[in-house]
Amino acid sequence: MSIETRKTKAGKIYYFVRVKSGRELVATKAFDLKKEAETWERQQKHLLETGRPLPPKRSFTLDELVTRFIAAREGGNPHTVDTDRNNLAKLRAALLKRPLASIQADDIRNHLLAELRGGKKPSTVARSKTTLSALFTYADELGLLHQPHPVRTMKKIPQLSVTQLSVSPADIPTAEQLAAKLSALRERRPDIAELNEFKSLTGLRWGELRAARVDLAAARHTRP
């Protein structure tokens, strides 16, 4: 690797960087400032030697990672995006201000335990854990995570490891039982009766139903 000082035809000085792997030239770039040339050369050298970018600056905070992550998720499943946004909004301000490089497994575990102590259901906290796992996986894919994955290496939380109860055929209501329940619901809560009937007919869960979208133009076109 080398940095060569050159001049343009107009006499302006610039710095030309060559990056080699063995004898093979793999990258070149020109800079107006020598400091920028040295920084880029150092980054490329580290990348060639380790296969990973340089760690982010200590000033790169968890909050900055969250902002990038949410922006990258835009355009995805609306329900998933909303869930991720809500889960990440629960992170304490003190934790968000810390450098990403300082976030360890115990920090995330303590956050999830605090949610449980605050009265959140294990299923709700489990979804927060899923969001946080996706957050740090995203950081790892960008080369921003240079410590062990805080969620994957976290000591297990027993309350989040409880498996869901299996459903036996005897637990499934008959058509008559379902009709009776829907009839009672129409009398008590007519505003949600049709919604629950639709759920019972399609098998959709509430989150899936919220994320569903209808193409009205297509619906009008296919209507008999």
What would the pLDDT profile of 31-65 be if each residue is shown by its tens digit?
A: 999 988 888 888 778 677 766 655 566 678 999 99
Q: Hey, which of 106-110, 163-167, 179-183 has the most confident mean pLDDT? A: 106-110
Domain ranges of the chain: 2-50, 62-160, 166-204
171-213 confidence digits (pLDDT tens)? 788 889 989 999 999 999 988 888 888 888 888 777 677 767 6
> What is the percentage of the chain residues whose pLDDT exceeds 90?
42
Q: In what order do the strands lie in the sheet with 24-31?
A: 2-7, 13-21, 24-31
The answer to pTM > 0.85 is: no
5-37 confidence digits (pLDDT tens)? 999 999 999 999 988 877 778 788 899 999 888
Q: What is the distance between the alpha carbons of residues 187 and 13, in angstroms, rounded to a whole number?
A: 83
Mean confidence (pLDDT) of the chain = 85
CATH class, range 62-160:
mainly alpha
